[in-house]
Amino acid sequence: MDTYILKTKDLCRDFKRQHAVSDISLSITKNSVYGLLGPNGAGKSTTLKMITGMLHPTSGEIFFENHPWSRNDLTKIGALIESPPLYENLTAKENLKVRTLLLGLPDSRIQEVLEIVSLTDTGKKHAGQFSMGMKQRLGIAIALLNYPKLLILDEPTNGLDPIGIQDLRNLIRSFPEQGITVILSSHILSEVELIADHIGIIAGGSLGYEGKINPGEDLESLFMQVVKNSKKAGA
C-alpha cells in the first residue's frame, strides 16, 4: 500500500477573475519521483508555489505527512522554483554559508550538500561565472541544506545542455534512496519518462490524469489526449 508524503484536495487559485488552477487533487507517494507535466501556462508553477507557501490557495486543502499543511512544514520542504536564488558575486561555499547562518545549521552541512551535487571543486569561482547546469545544481544544494523530506523542482532542466540534463537526471534519481521525495514540473515528456515513477498531467489549470508510469506506455499520446480534452472542456 502506498504511503503518501503529500496530498492536495480540490486546490484552487484565482488571480482577480481568472482561474489559474481549479480542483487540483494530487497524491505524492513517499520516496518517489513525481513528474508534474503540462504545457507552459497550464498551472504547474502556481500549484508548486501553493505547496511551498509562496502563494495562498483561494480554496482547497494541502496535507503533509497526514496532517493539514502549516508553515512549520516548510522546515521539511526544499524548493527550487524558477531561477536559482544565488548571490552571483559569491562562491558556492559562500552562497551556502549565508543560508546556513539563516537556518542555524553547522558549517559541515555545506560540504555535505556540495558533495551531493558534485560541486566540491569550484574553489573561488563566483556563482555568476557558473554554467547554467552548475547554477541549477547549486540551487538544488541550497534546497537540500535543511535536510528536506520533500524536494520541489520547477522546470529544473530548462536551459541545460544534454550533459547537464543527464547529470541532473542522475542526481534526481538518487534522492528517493536517500529518503527524499521529489516533485518536479516539466513540459519535456521524454525527460520525465526517464526520471519519474508517477505523473500528473495538468492542462488548462485542471488535473487531467494521475498515475504510475508504465513501461512501454505512450506518454506523448496520453499527454496530448489530456490537453485535447482540456481544450474541449474550456470551449
Residue with more model confidence, 41 or 143 = 143
Is the pLDDT confidence value at 235 over 70?
no
Burial class (CB in 10 A: 0-12, 13-18, 19+), 4: middle
Residue 218: predicted pLDDT: 84
Q: Please give the full DSSP string across 107-126, using - where no structure is assigned.
A: THHHHHHHHHTT-TT-TT-B
Residue 69: predicted pLDDT: 96
Task: For the chain, give the percent of residues with pLDDT over 70.
Answer: 98
In Å, how far are 67, 116, 157, 161, 162 from 168, measured between CA atoms? 31, 11, 7, 11, 10
- pLDDT, averaged across the chain: 91
Homologous superfamily of domain range 4-85+148-234: P-loop containing nucleotide triphosphate hydrolases (3.40.50.300)
State in Å, rounded, how far the first CA of the chain is from the last one: 39
pLDDT in tens, 1-31: 579 999 999 999 998 878 889 999 999 999 9
Give the span between the Cα atoms of 44 and 49, in whole angstroms. Answer: 9
